Amino acid sequence: MSKNFLDQLKGMTVVVSDTGDFNSIREFRPRDATTNPSLIASAAAMPAYAKLTSDALAWARAPINASASANASDRDTAARAVDRLAVEFGLRILEIVPGRVSTEVDARLSYDTQASVNKARMLIGMYEAAGGSRDRILIKLASTWEGIRAAEILEKEGIHCNMTLLFGIHQAVACAEAGATLISPFVGRILDWYKKDTGRASYPPHEDPGVVSVTQIYEYYKHYGIKTEVMGASFRNMGEITELAGCDLLTISPSLLAELENAKGELPRKLDPAKAKAKSIPKIEMNESTFRAMHAADRMANDKLAEGIETFSKALVDLETQLAAR
């Protein structure tokens, strides 16, 4: 009996679960797991996680965390609770997966290097105070120039970073040169932009603009022996995933994991480091002016980075509002 696609994929790519729902993580047995503000907000609204949310609020209300101030507002308390909730979800996930969990820095800090560094240090401190090991935690930062500089500082301190909201080769090259542990190029969001921009209803998987972008990044990294890992993210359909079989990691939603598990047949490897090494790929010399010029020239990357920061920021505001009301 032939293996299903999910089992075959796990033989060539590290499968990561893109959810905050513990039950889904247990079901599909990924090595790693990722979260983001939208996923945490969705999970926090589930009755199954009501106690976790209440515990985070209780922690945030404690005088030691409110700087012993009786004047802390509900919004201030909710903001601390959101950080605590993200860490609590991460700690529970680490009990399930054998590998790493990714926890995101507040997207509203995406253009502030020092504030991003401070928030990352605080999150790692919370993990370590609860017995978590920083080797199993990836701090997610938006792939702005400022976020990339934050990653450069943090990596030198042994805080590993997952660069998210990544849509272009210029971001990928800058992240690699900063020494980021991992990047998460967003396949599906790239497809969304191109469908809207061109008016096309669909693309064949091998022509999918998100697939093409991640393939370009993967081949550049492997050609130049870059250690930063590539983790395709934000998938819209199974075809995007199968076209990237062989990528270092792929982070996949529970619904698409289920599709892969139910699919039978031969799953060929599409991305291969040896083939990338043999290709002729020009080197990109990266600095801040080059980064900003390339970003300004890439309408898709420009639009999707700004939109992603706005979306994640809104999810945080909504979650803070929900917690403040409690």
Active site residues: 140
Q: In this structure, which amino acid lies at residue 290? A: T
What residues have CB less than 8 Å from 200, skipping those under 6 apart? Answer: 194
Eight-class DSSP state of 72: -
CA 128 to chain centre: 21
- Residue 113: C-alpha distances to residues 162, 179, 320 (Å): 15, 16, 23
- CA dist 152 and 145 (Å) reads 11
Q: Token digits for 264?
A: 């039978």
CA 314 to chain centre: 17
Length of the chain: 326
User: What is the residue whose two structure tokens read 């009786």?
Assistant: 70
Q: Return the axis-axis angle of helices 74-94 and 113-129, rounded to nearest 10°.
A: 60
Pair 254, 24: CB distance under 8 Å: yes
Q: Token digits for 65?
A: 């965390």
Q: Token digits for 219?
A: 């081949």
- Measured at the alpha carbon of residue 124, what is the angle toward residues 306 and 248, in degrees to the nearest 5? 60
- CA dist 125 and 142 (Å) reads 20
What residues have CB less than 8 Å from 16, skipping those under 6 apart? Answer: 30, 31, 32, 33, 34, 231, 249, 250, 251, 252
